[in-house]
Amino acid sequence: MPRPDVAKLYADHLERLPHPDGFDIRFLEYSRFGKPDDVRQRVNTRATHIGEALVNVAETAGYSFHHPNDPKPADTPGPKSTMLRCLSCGHELTPLPVNDQLESGITQHALATLLRTINPECPHDQT
């Protein structure tokens, strides 16, 4: 499951869900207060499964969860690239690899070769 943190958030609040209108929805069967350890463990397991199921239902329907502290695309490890586009029409000309600072470098030979392959006139059909 891609977002176990969201599933845990649901599981942790299952006994008392805060409603946006200011009241709580109580599921007393998921209360852990005053329960023996074995019962508390079963309640935790069941609440975790419910949290995972809620995340699965949302993600299966096409929703995704984002948090402000999630890494931005530039922060994720691995190779990155950007698309070189025409400023006039927005046509995608060619992908360029970039580093972690989103900088790209190209040799003079590669640049000359690239410029020869791109038609400078819109609509930029490859020559």
The answer to whether residue 125 sits within a structural domain is: no
For the beta carbon of residue 124, count every other beta carbon within 10 angstroms.
16
Is position 23 within any domain? yes
pLDDT tier, 115 (very low <50, low <70, confident <90, very high otherwise)? confident
Q: Which of 37, 60, 83 is the last residue of a domain?
A: 60
The angle formed by the CA atoms of residues 65, 67 and 70, to the nearest 5 degrees, is 105
Task: Tell me if 79 is assigned to some domain.
Answer: yes
pLDDT band at 8 (very low <50, low <70, confident <90, very high): very high
Summarize pLDDT for 9-67 with one digit per residue, the tens: 999 998 898 999 999 999 888 888 888 999 999 999 999 999 999 999 998 888 888 88
- Would 124 be classed as within a structural domain? no
pLDDT at 49: 93
In a domain, 53, yes or no: yes
Quote the domain boundaries for residue 98. 73-117
Report the pLDDT value the prediction gives residue 33, as an integer from 0 to 100. Answer: 85
101 — phi, psi (to 5°)?
A: -95, 10
Residues 84 and 56 grouped into a single domain: no
pLDDT at 110 over 80: yes
Task: Check whether residue 26 and residue 54 sit in a common domain.
Answer: yes
Q: Is the pLDDT of residue 126 over 80?
A: no
Number of domains composing the chain:
2
| The pair of three-digit structure tokens given for residue 21, joined into one six-digit string | 């209108």
Structure tokens given for 102 = 């989103």
Residue 17 forms part of a structural domain: yes
From residue 44, how far is each of 6, 11, 54, 65, 111 by CA, in Å?
15, 7, 15, 23, 59
Whether residue 96 is predicted with pLDDT greater than 80 in this model: the reply is: yes
10 with 38, same domain: the answer is yes
Instruction: Tell me, yes or no, whether 51 and 91 share the same domain.
Output: no
- Tell me whether residue 32 is in a domain: yes
Together in a domain, 10 and 54: yes
The whole-number pLDDT of residue 2 equals: 66
